[in-house]
Amino acid sequence: MTDRYAVLGNPVTHSKSPLIHAEFAHQTGEAMDYTAIEAPDEGFASAWQQFAAEGGRGANVTVPFKEDAFALCDTVSHRAKRAKAVNTLILGGNGRLYGDNTDGVGLARDLAYHRVVLKDKRVLIVGAGGAVRGALEPLLAETPSEVVIANRTAEKASVLASDFADLGNISGGGFDAIEGEFDLVINGTSASLAGDLPPLPEGLFAKGAWAYDMMYDVEPTVFLQWAGPRGARLLDGLGMLVEQAAESFFLWRNVRPNTVPVRETLRQSLNY
């Protein structure tokens, strides 16, 4: 029997997750079907419940529903509890819903794949949503000298920073509070999906700095288009997507796929 999984989000038609998990299933010989489901803005819970009633065993959750998924779960992992956000749902045989967060693992593995060193570096993270929450613990584990969170709502960034202050030197505020140069600037907002650029100041990138957008598209995102001429080395979120998907696949199937050929296949499907 083929087990059913899905990705739930809005928007979700652009998602490469079905292709990624099809590649993983083919590579490992796992019998599974994976589809994309666009949930209504206020209808995440009902969309998941309908999918589960139709035989769904698990799902990935993308913007803007990661915090909704956290609230829906009966139990969650340590990293999901820390993030207060869930991107991986697992339906137990007893009908209880378990949530995990593989975003941070995905980002950390992608940065390591590209040999981006964080130790003693300044890191700026733009945004304070579920994806950023999921990324903070593994990023701070790499002992950067400082992590700064900048968000349109300064209070949300400040509260988020205080939630993780026990793990390292971290602060949060509005865009007007950004000061100095950074070695890594991560766009953790979904603004790129709408072609919007956060209001970032000039002089943001230190020599040899990286600009990382958690989003990806067939062309470089507007954030990366802005960062490139300002001297940054560019990375999009495609590798993070593959790596977090591999961790979800492992949680569902107890098999760890090889991400390298899937990375290459997806990269070839883009225009850059």
Please give the annotated binding residues for NADP(+), written as ranges.
Answer: 127-131, 151-156, 214, 237
From the list 66, 81, 119, 121, the catalytic residue is 66
**236 in Cβ contact with 98 (< 8 Å):** no
Sheet holding 56-61, edge to edge: 32-38, 3-9, 56-61, 88-91, 97-100, 75-76
The region that residue 216 occupies, defined by phi over 0 for left and psi between -120 and 50 for alpha, beta otherwise, is beta
Would you list which residues are annotated within the binding site for shikimate?
15-17, 62, 87, 103, 216, 244
Read off the tokens for 79: 């990293």
Question: Does the annotation mark 66 as catalytic?
Answer: yes
Give the separation between CA 252 and CA 59, rounded to whole angstroms.
9
- Give the DSSP per-residue string, the chain: --EEEEEEESS-TT--HHHHHHHHHHHHT--EEEEEEE--TT-HHHHHHHHHHTTEEEEEE-TT-HHHHHHH-SEE-HHHHHHT--SEEEE-TTS-EEEE--HHHHHHHHHHHTT---TT-EEEEE--SHHHHHHHHHHHHT--SEEEEE-SSHHHHHHHHHHTGGGSSEEEE-GGG--S-EEEEEE-SSGGGGT----PPSS-EEEEEEEEES---SS--HHHHHHGGGT-EEE-THHHHHHHHHHHHHHHHS-----HHHHHHHHHHS--
Would you list which residues are annotated within the binding site?
15-17, 62, 87, 103, 127-131, 151-156, 214, 216, 237, 244
Tell me the catalytic residues: 66
